Structure 1
Amino acid sequence: MRNTTYRIITNLPLRILSIWVKPQVLPDSPSALIDPDLPVLYVLEVGGVADRCALQLACAQHGLPDPTDKLLYGTNTESSSVDVLKSRQGSIFRKLRPTISARLNRLVSAGLDIDADAGELQIVPVGVYWGRAPDKESSIWRLWFTENWQFAGRTRKLITTLIHGRHTLLSFSEPLSFNTLKNTGEAPRILERKLSRVLRVHFRQRRIATLGPDQSHRRILIDHVLADDAVRQAIVKESDGKPVERARRQAQKYAFEIAADVSYPTVRILHNLLTRLWNELYDGVELSGINRLKAVADGHELIYVPCHRSHIDYLLLSYILYMQGYSLPHIAAGINLNLPVVGGLLRRGGAFFLRRTFTGNPLYAAVFNAYLKEILQRGHALEYFVEGGRSRTGRLLPPKGGMLAMTVHAYLREPKTPVMFIPVYFGYERLLEGRSFTSELAGGKKQKETIFALVKALRTLKEDYGRVHVNFGEPIALDTILDSHQSNWRQLPAPLERPDWLHPVVETLGSSIMQNINEAACVTPISLLAITLLATPRGRISRDELMLQIDIYHQLLSQAHAHTPVVVPAINADDLIEHGTRLGFIETYSDSIGPLIQPKPGQLAALTYFRNNILHLLTLPALIAAAFSNSRTRSETYLKELIKLTFPFLQGELFLPTEPDESTIDSSLQALMQSGLLEQVDGKWHRASAGTIQALSLMRLAQVVMPGLERNYLCASLLARAHEGGITRDELALRNQMSAERLANTSGVDAAELYDKHLHRAFVERMIQQGYVAVHDDRLTPEKSMLEVEGKAHTLLSEQTRHAIINAALAAGNIQ
Structure 2
Amino acid sequence: MLPNFLLKALKWPISLSVKSKLVPQDPIKELQLDPAKPIVYAFKTASASDLLAVRRLCFQLGLPDPTEPLRLNGEILPRSLFLDRPVALLTRSRKSGNFRTDLAKLLDALNTDEHQEIQLLPISLFWGRQPGHENPSLLGSMLSDYDSPSWLRKALIIARYGRDNFVRFARPVSLRTLLADRPNASLDELGHKLARVARVHFSRQRLVMTGPRLPDRETMLAALLKTEPMKRAIEDEAKGRKEAYGQAEKRAAQYLDEIAAKFSPGFVRILDRLLTWIWNRIYNGIQVTNAEVVRQLAHDGHEIVYVPCHRSHMDYLLLSYVIYQQGMVPPHIAAGVNLNFFPAGPMFRRGGAFFIRRSFKGNKLYSTVFREYLYSLFEKGYAVEYFTEGGRSRTGRLLPPKTGMLAMTVQSMLRKAERPITLVPVYIGYEHVMEVGSYLKELRGNSKEKESGWQAFKSSIQALRQDFGQGFVNFGQPIPLTQYLGEQVPDWRQASESPDAKPSWLTPLVNKLGDEVLTRINDAAALNGTTLTALALLSAEHRALTREVLEAQLDLLLALAKAAPYSAQMTVPELDGKALLAQTLKGDKFLVSQDGLGELVSLDEHRAIAMTYYRNNILHLYVLPALVAKLLLGQSFSSQQLKDKVRALYPLLKAELFMGLDEAQLDAYLDQILAGLAAQELISGDEAGWQAMDARRPGHRKLWLLAGVISESLQRYAIVLTLLRSPEPLGRAELESRAQAVAERLSALYGINAPEFFDKKLIATLIATLREADLVELGEQSELLPNQAAAELDELVLGMLDAEVADTIRNLLCKEGCAQ
Q: Same fold (TM over 0.5)?
A: yes
Give the aligned partner of residue 214 of structure 2. 215
Q: What amino acid is aligned across from residue 231 of structure 2 in structure 1? A: R
Give a deviation string over 1:317-354, Cα, whole Å, max 9, x none: 11111112111111111111111011111110111111
- Answer whether contact 1:625 1:698 (CA < 8 A) is retained: yes
Give the aligned partner of residue 379 of structure 2. 377
Which of 394, 399, 402 is equivalent to 1:400?
402
Instruction: Decide whether aligned partners of structure 1 residues 30 and 566 sit closer, same or farther in structure 2, where only a CA change above 3 A counts.
Output: closer
TM-score, length-scaled by structure 1: 0.92
> What is the correspondence of 1:673-692 to structure 2 with a 5 Å cutoff?
673-680=678-685, 683-692=688-697
Give a deviation string over 1:632-669, Cα, whole Å, max 9, x none: 33344332221111122111111111155433222212
Measure how far apart 1:181 and its partner are.
2.3
Instruction: Decide whether aligned partners of structure 1 residues 809 and 227 sit closer, same or farther in structure 2, where only a CA change above 3 A counts.
Output: farther
Measure how far apart 1:72 and its partner are.
5.5
Measure how far apart 1:265 and its partner are.
2.1
Which of 762, 767, 770 is equivalent to 1:767?
770
> What is the correspondence of 1:257-656 to structure 2 with a 5 Å cutoff?
257-299=258-300, 300-457=302-459, 458-492=461-495, 493-561=497-565, 564-589=568-593, 596-600=600-604, 602-629=606-633, 631-656=634-659
Local SS of the residue matching 1:614: helix
Instruction: Decide whether aligned partners of structure 1 residues 179 and 677 sit closer, same or farther in structure 2, where only a CA change above 3 A counts.
Output: closer
- Answer whether contact 1:718 1:813 (CA < 8 A) is retained: no
Give the aligned partner of residue 172 of structure 1. 169
Compare 105-114 and 42-51 and name the one that shifted more.
105-114
Instruction: Decide whether aligned partners of structure 1 residues 228 and 104 sit closer, same or farther in structure 2, where only a CA change above 3 A counts.
Output: farther
Q: What amino acid is aligned across from residue 673 of structure 2 in structure 1? A: S
Local SS of the residue matching 2:545: coil
Give the aligned partner of residue 131 of structure 1. 128
Instruction: Decide whether aligned partners of structure 1 residues 233 and 748 sit closer, same or farther in structure 2, where only a CA change above 3 A counts.
Output: same
Give a deviation string over 1:753-786, Cα, whole Å, max 9, x none: 4322332222222212211122356543223322
Measure how far apart 1:144 and its partner are.
5.5
Instruction: Decide whether aligned partners of structure 1 residues 460 and 128 sit closer, same or farther in structure 2, where only a CA change above 3 A counts.
Output: closer
2: CA distance between counterparts of 1:278 and 1:384? Answer: 22
Measure how far apart 1:110 and its partner are.
2.4
Local SS of the residue matching 2:368: helix
- Answer whether contact 1:73 1:110 (CA < 8 A) is retained: no
2: CA distance between counterparts of 1:209 and 1:288? Answer: 18
Instruction: Decide whether aligned partners of structure 1 residues 494 and 120 sit closer, same or farther in structure 2, where only a CA change above 3 A counts.
Output: farther
- Answer whether contact 1:73 1:121 (CA < 8 A) is retained: no
Q: Tell me, yes or no, if structure 1 residue 711 matches structure 2 residue 716.
A: yes
Compare 376-385 and 281-290 and name the one that shifted more.
281-290
- Answer whether contact 1:303 1:383 (CA < 8 A) is retained: yes
Give the aligned partner of residue 194 of structure 1. 193
Give a deviation string over 1:368-404, Cα, whole Å, max 9, x none: 1111111111111111111111111111111111111
Measure how far apart 1:149 and its partner are.
8.2
Measure how far apart 1:529 and its partner are.
0.7
Local SS of the residue matching 1:545: helix
- Answer whether contact 2:566 2:669 (CA < 8 A) is retained: no
Give the aligned partner of residue 41 of structure 1. 40
Instruction: Decide whether aligned partners of structure 1 residues 275 and 729 sit closer, same or farther in structure 2, where only a CA change above 3 A counts.
Output: same
Give the aligned partner of residue 813 of structure 2. 809
Measure how far apart 1:590 and its partner are.
6.0
- Answer whether contact 2:395 2:755 (CA < 8 A) is retained: no
Give the aligned partner of residue 752 of structure 1. 755
Measure how far apart 1:278 and its partner are.
0.8
Q: What amino acid is aligned across from residue 305 of structure 1 in structure 2? A: V
Instruction: Decide whether aligned partners of structure 1 residues 803 and 113 sit closer, same or farther in structure 2, where only a CA change above 3 A counts.
Output: closer
Instruction: Decide whether aligned partners of structure 1 residues 192 and 678 sit closer, same or farther in structure 2, where only a CA change above 3 A counts.
Output: same
Q: What amino acid is aligned across from residue 19 of structure 1 in structure 2? A: L
1: CA distance between counterparts of 2:579 and 2:174? Answer: 47
Instruction: Decide whether aligned partners of structure 1 residues 722 and 520 sit closer, same or farther in structure 2, where only a CA change above 3 A counts.
Output: farther
Measure how far apart 1:491 and its partner are.
4.6
Instruction: Decide whether aligned partners of structure 1 residues 266 and 750 sit closer, same or farther in structure 2, where only a CA change above 3 A counts.
Output: same
Give the aligned partner of residue 83 of structure 1. 81
Q: What amino acid is aligned across from residue 767 of structure 2 in structure 1? A: V
Which of 723, 736, 740 is equivalent to 1:737?
740
2: CA distance between counterparts of 1:323 and 1:742? Answer: 50
1: CA distance between counterparts of 2:6 and 2:355? Answer: 54
Measure how far apart 1:34 and its partner are.
4.7
Q: What amino acid is aligned across from residue 298 of structure 1 in structure 2? A: H
Compare 253-262 and 66-75 and name the one that shifted more.
66-75
Q: What amino acid is aligned across from residue 282 of structure 1 in structure 2? A: Y
- Answer whether contact 1:76 1:110 (CA < 8 A) is retained: no
Local SS of the residue matching 1:126: strand
Q: What amino acid is aligned across from residue 436 of structure 2 in structure 1? A: G
**Length, aligned pairs only:** 803
Instruction: Decide whether aligned partners of structure 1 residues 577 and 125 sit closer, same or farther in structure 2, where only a CA change above 3 A counts.
Output: closer
Q: What amino acid is aligned across from residue 284 of structure 1 in structure 2? A: G
Instruction: Decide whether aligned partners of structure 1 residues 491 and 329 sit closer, same or farther in structure 2, where only a CA change above 3 A counts.
Output: same
1: CA distance between counterparts of 2:691 and 2:564? Answer: 21
Give the aligned partner of residue 3 of structure 1. none
1: CA distance between counterparts of 2:199 and 2:629? Answer: 58
Local SS of the residue matching 2:163: helix
Measure how far apart 1:453 and its partner are.
1.8
- Answer whether contact 1:628 1:796 (CA < 8 A) is retained: no
Measure how far apart 1:187 and its partner are.
4.0
Give the aligned partner of residue 16 of structure 2. 19
2: CA distance between counterparts of 1:89 and 1:546? Answer: 66
Compare 205-214 and 34-43 and name the one that shifted more.
34-43
2: CA distance between counterparts of 1:654 and 1:715? Answer: 17
Give a deviation string over 1:686-722, Cα, whole Å, max 9, x none: 2222344433332222110010111112112222326
1: CA distance between counterparts of 2:162 and 2:263? Answer: 21
2: CA distance between counterparts of 1:581 and 1:254? Answer: 49
Q: Report the aligned-residue RMSD.
A: 2.9
- Answer whether contact 1:261 1:347 (CA < 8 A) is retained: yes
Compare 490-499 and 733-742 and name the one that shifted more.
490-499
Q: Please, which runs of 5 or more residues in structure 1 have no aligned partner?
A: 1-5
Give a deviation string over 1:615-642, Cα, whole Å, max 9, x none: 111111110121145x333344332221
> What is the correspondence of 1:690-701 to structure 2 with a 5 Å cutoff?
690-701=695-706
2: CA distance between counterparts of 1:99 and 1:812? Answer: 90
Q: What amino acid is aligned across from residue 171 of structure 2 in structure 1? A: E
